[in-house]
Amino acid sequence: MNPPLEPLNVLINQQTHQLPAGATLADAIALVGIEPPFAAAINLQFVPRLQYAQRSLQANDAIELIAPITGG
């Protein structure tokens, strides 16, 4: 029998969050509840929206979710 997988600690916009092992970027986005439009990056690497559900997270990943700012 395999031991249970450890949860992942990740940073989302400089705040520590815990996600289950095997979590994806889509899971992290759902956790914080950000609404589109926004851009996402993991460890300073942009991730296209179509890859959110396939992009697996690793312990200590730094996720940035950035919403555009309007005005000038």
Per residue in 11-40, pLDDT (tens digit) is 999 999 999 999 999 999 999 999 999 999
Domain count, the chain: 1
17 occurs within a structural domain: yes
56 occurs within a structural domain: yes
72 occurs within a structural domain: no
Q: Give the pLDDT confidence score for residue 1 in this predicted structure.
A: 67
Helices (H), 3-44: 25-32
29 occurs within a structural domain: yes
Give yes or no for residue 5 having a pLDDT over 90: no
The pTM for the full model equals 0.90
Considering only residues 70 and 45, tell me which one the structure prediction assigns the higher pLDDT: 45
13 occurs within a structural domain: yes
Domain enclosing residue 24, as ranges? 8-66
41 occurs within a structural domain: yes
pLDDT level of residue 41 (50, 70, 90 thresholds) = very high
60 occurs within a structural domain: yes
The CATH number covering residue 40 comes to: 3.10.20.30
Rounded Cα distance, 68 and 66, in Å: 7
